[in-house]
Chains A and B, each alone.
Chain A
Amino acid sequence: MGLFSPWFLAGLAGLALPFYLHLLKRQTRQPKAVSSLMLYESRTQSSTRHRRLRYYLLLSLRLAMLLLMILAFANPFLNRNAAAVASNRLLLLVVDNSFSMRAGTRLADAKQAAMGVLAGKGAARAQVAAFDSELRLMTQPIEDQSALRAAVEAIQPGDGHGNFGELARAVRAMAESVHTPIELHLFSDMQRSGLAASFADMALPGNVQLTPHAVVTKAQPNWTVESVDAPGQVWGKDAKPVHVQAVIAGYGTPAAQRAVSLVVNGKTSATKTVAVPANGRATVDFPALEVPYGFSRCEVKIDSADGFPADDLRRFAVERSDPQKALLIHNYGDNRSPLYIGAALAAAAQSAFVLESIAVNEAADRQPSNYAFIVLSDLNSMPSILENSLAGYVKAGGSLLIAAGTSAGGRLEIPIFGARIIETRDYSRVPDRFMAVGASDSSYPAVAKADGWAGVKFFYALNVDPGDARVVVRLGDQTPLLLEKRIGEGRVVLLTSGLDNLTNDFPLHPAFVPFIEQTARYLAGSQRQGGARTVDAFLELRNAKERTQGVEVTDPEGKRPLTLGEAASAQSFQLTEAGYYQLRLADGRRNEVGVNADPKESNLDVIPGDVLALWQGKGGQAGEDPSAASRPAAPAKTRESVWWYVLLAALVAAAAESVLASRYLGTQREEK
């Protein structure tokens, strides 16, 4: 017997408290006056007797309660013979069904080995679990052999990435609730890439005994399509040619020629041959991706020449659609703004937007809802009908970019945005004759890709009261430069300077193009990160304002994995299978993504024997043949924690103390 946390025994000092309450505290009574002592007799003859303990039983219970609680914290354990506790042992059979187990007959071998262990253990209490990126329990702890065998048979190959750190974490959590020893049998290909970043994350508790059953003992060569770089969207029928770039990797492979194909909607559109160096990578470039309107399911695949064909392709989805229309409203005679904004959009956004520029006097008859977003550039006067129309457009969900310019200086507030104008700042009169950006919010997409607007000189800006707007960029003198505000269902971005190369030199800087591109995408709501994801990644289904609309997800098998409740409220969705997912998002847009297994699963290198021995807690046996690990270890002694029982005894003592103390208190009430 011993203690796992003996330093908690310092709490034994707390045992002095009941003694204090029962002994010392009683000596502080004030003398009490009486009429006469004629009939009284002394009942405490000596000081020793005076200090005699009253309520011995109560004191004993209180001491016992404290002692047991301290002991429970100290976590006592009993050394028991392994044979003696074998009957209490829980047999936990974990079968790895990560993506790499699809190679060859690995999963079938693992299941067969699990069946063998089940048969050898007889009527032991056992539990079956599958494991890839997380531990999935297939049964409760049961002794029914047929149910356990059925559970092993039911384990299907998965697409997740095996992570032994996650396995250890799940087993640690389980060991806290299961107080009997756990005999963990792991049936896996022991992939090296499944090791946790820190070996400490894989530590197992003392009552868990790991027995690995490796279905392969050495690395196998494997080629794979490691990554594909392709756009998620293509705009219009006359879009520029789209490049698709793929990286072909070989793990433990000799130098070889591989045939790489680009497949669009099941048809091979291009094939190339690439020389992959020994145990290296090669890049393939397909210069023109031709896809029809709508979503296209594309993949890059290599010819199968190894024992793991499942990773020889990589999926992605591409959508071709018409470019969206954007409207620029500028002052009459202002040719600079249309020039710079139009050029930036054409250069960067892959023709995603068609910019229509009109003077303010022509804007009254335009229907704002026909445009993905609208830009107002330096308007010195705005007809009230246009202002009302734009305000309604924004409240209904439209987006607006306002460049204040110099003309707004005469106003009291920014139209539609509503910010009060405090003053105008003319930096051409300060010693440096310009003001640079002081602080910027790098989490804002329009600023993040524009390198913080370094080197841009601002000569003129409006100092506005931001109110409840989000200030994204401030100038060096803390003047708000870029602000965003949600109005109704829509959003308005305000630049307190101009976009015409007069009030600043921003349009001449490289940062201007990504700023316009990201702002346009942000305002149009068409941010998209490309049509490929990895298994176990999460997809955002809705933002906060779209809380009430339902979403729809269709998995690669054509099923709808979301329940009605989840479809109405889930913020995100985890992609659990490789294949193509179709989505209808809360804002009504449709989307399709190609989901691929984690590229780490393609590296079939196995965990070295010494590392495996270390994980088992047998560091001294480094270099031992991993196959020896399949023999169940039988330590002579097992430490079995008994804190639970000690705490239970403490609770019993506490209950008895309460009953007894209430009886004594009841006696005192009667006395009164």
Chain B
Amino acid sequence: MEQRFLKPSILAGISGLELVAKTVVDGFVSGLHRSPDFGFSQEFAEYAAYTPGDDLRRVDWNVYARTERLFLKRFRGETNSVLTILLDASNSMQFGSHAVNKMDYARYLAASLFYLAIHGQRDAAGLITFDDEIRNYVRPSTRQGQLHRLLAGLEQAEARARTDFSKPMRYFQDFLKRRGMVLIVSDFWESPESLVRTIEPLRFRGNEVVLFHILDPEDVRPKLSGPSILVDLETEERLEVTPDFAKQEYRGKVETHLADLRDRTRAAGMGYCLLMTDRPLDEALREYLTLRGGRN
């Protein structure tokens, strides 16, 4: 169900990432149907029969007093997780054909996920912004004020330079010492093969890796009224292109590229979520909660 408060064009009118995140998450949560897959960390889930070896701290002693039988009390989200968002802040992210460009959309997305993780799930959350270098790092934490630090990190993330996953990736390993969820937010203008090969090591250490692929509608369906000279925002390379090519061949190549990326990431055990900047954010939140639920 599309939520009115999740439309990017409306979010663009809200100043302050925290308010944006609160609007998105509250709007999203209030629209949810109750489901066994979704819940919050202090919510009771079920009783399970005690088997030798189980942690005695989970035994419900009140039940034992009444029934003299040992049961374990289980909660949803009872384990804390670590959420780390790797945010691409390269030049191509500032492309936008309407009110919200890809960088803004990525900020809204990251802020909403942080808000949901910290306030809803009590997870530790961290942020790494990068282009061809690592630009900023906010260490995952559950301390008071972490959300504000993360949002400040998002505010400071300015699109510049060009994307290069291979160079900063080796540093990611140093930062990601605890297992958790790694969400990479980027427009992924790279060869799917090399991209997956570069990111795959993150998965080897037991992290759940999800690629949030942010694209502008014109990235997929460019509008050209006549033969045009196109300029690459990152490399400033120029190319003359005809509308016929943009209308037919290019669209086919984009669809192939997206399908290839999706297939390769899933084959590598990573999640993939394509997000268009004119679509609401709830799809991304849903993906996160699904992932989070799977870790219980």
Contact = CB atoms under 8 A, between A and B. Distances in A.
A146 interface: no
B247 A44 contact: no
A167 B70 CA distance: 130
Q: Which 6 A-B pairs have the closest CB atoms?
A: A36-B189, A35-B92, A43-B242, A35-B95, A31-B229, A37-B232
Interface stretch (B25-33, B108-116, B233-241, B279-287): B233-241
Given A31-B229, A33-B230, A37-B230, 8 more contacts: A31-B228, A32-B229, A34-B231, A36-B189, A37-B237, A38-B190, A40-B245, A50-B240
Contacts, number: 86
A48 interface: no
B152 interface: no
A35 B229 contact: no
A444 B231 CA distance: 83
Contact of A34 (B233, B243, B247): B233
Interface in A36-85: 36-44, 50
13 contacts: A33-B230, A34-B95, A34-B219, A34-B230, A35-B92, A35-B219, A38-B189, A38-B190, A40-B241, A42-B239, A43-B240, A671-B224, A672-B223
Nearest to A43: B242
A631 interface: no
A668 B216 CA distance: 21
Nearest to A38: B189
Nearest to A44: B240
Contacts of B102: 35
B228 A29 contact: yes
B225 interface: yes
A41 B223 contact: no
Contacts of B238: 31
Interface of B: 92, 95, 102, 187, 189-190, 216, 218-219, 222-235, 237-247, 249-250, 253-254, 257
Contacts of A38: 189-190
B104 to A, nearest CB: 14
B95 A29 contact: no
A32 B219 CA distance: 13
B249 A34 contact: no
If over half of A's interface residues share one DSSP class (helix, strand or loop), that class is named, otherwise mixed; here it is loop
A26 interface: yes
Could you say which interface size class chain A belongs to?
Answer: 20 to 34
Contacts of A37: 230, 232, 235, 237, 239
A41 B229 CA distance: 11
A668 B253 CA distance: 22
Interface of A: 26, 29, 31-44, 50, 668, 671-672
B230 A671 contact: no
A42 B241 CA distance: 5
A39 B253 contact: yes
Q: Taking each of A29, A35, A50, A672, which has the highest tally of chain B beta carbons within 10 Å of its own beta carbon?
A: A35
A31 B222 CA distance: 14
Nearest to B247: A671
Contacts of B224: 32, 671
B230 A44 contact: no
A35 B242 contact: no
Contacts of B95: 33-35
A41 B230 contact: no
Contact of A32 (B92, B228, B242): B228
Given A39-B250, A39-B253, A41-B249, A671 B225 contact: yes
A40 B253 CA distance: 9
Contact of A43 (B218, B222, B244): B244
B232 A32 contact: no
A40 B227 contact: no
A37 B227 CA distance: 15
A29 B230 CA distance: 11
Contact of B232 (A26, A34, A43, A668): A34
B253 A43 contact: no
Contacts of B216: 35
A36 B233 contact: yes
Contact of B222 (A29, A34, A44): A34
A32 B231 contact: yes
Contacts of B230: 31-34, 37, 40
Contacts of A39: 250, 253-254, 257
Nearest to B228: A32
B240 A671 contact: no
Contacts of A671: 223-225, 243, 247
B227 A29 contact: yes
Contacts of A43: 227, 240-242, 244-245
Contacts of A44: 227, 240, 242
A286 to B, nearest CB: 95
A40 B250 contact: yes
A29 B229 contact: yes
A36 B92 contact: yes
A32 B224 CA distance: 9
Q: Taking each of A41, A42, A43, A44, which has the highest tally of chain B beta carbons within 10 Å of its own beta carbon?
A: A43
B177 to A, nearest CB: 33
Q: Taking each of B95, B241, B253, which has the highest tally of chain A beta carbons within 10 Å of its own beta carbon?
A: B241
B82 to A, nearest CB: 31
A127 to B, nearest CB: 58
Contacts of B227: 26, 29, 43-44, 50
A39 B225 CA distance: 19
Nearest to B92: A35
Contacts of A31: 228-231, 238
Q: Taking each of A26, A36, A671, A672, which has the highest tally of chain B beta carbons within 10 Å of its own beta carbon?
A: A36
A41 B187 contact: no
Contacts of A41: 239, 241, 245, 249
Contact of A33 (B226, B233, B243, B250): B233
A554 to B, nearest CB: 77
A41 B246 CA distance: 9
B115 to A, nearest CB: 28
Contacts of A34: 95, 218-219, 222, 230-233
Contacts of B243: 671
A406 B249 CA distance: 105
B233 A35 contact: yes
A37 B239 CA distance: 8
Contacts of B239: 37, 40-42
A50 B239 CA distance: 12
A311 to B, nearest CB: 82
A512 B246 CA distance: 97
A191 B20 CA distance: 104
A24 to B, nearest CB: 13
Contacts of B237: 37
A26 B250 CA distance: 22
Contacts of B244: 43
B246 to A, nearest CB: 8
A32 to B, nearest CB: 5
A38 B250 CA distance: 10
Q: Taking each of B225, B237, B240, which has the highest tally of chain A beta carbons within 10 Å of its own beta carbon?
A: B240
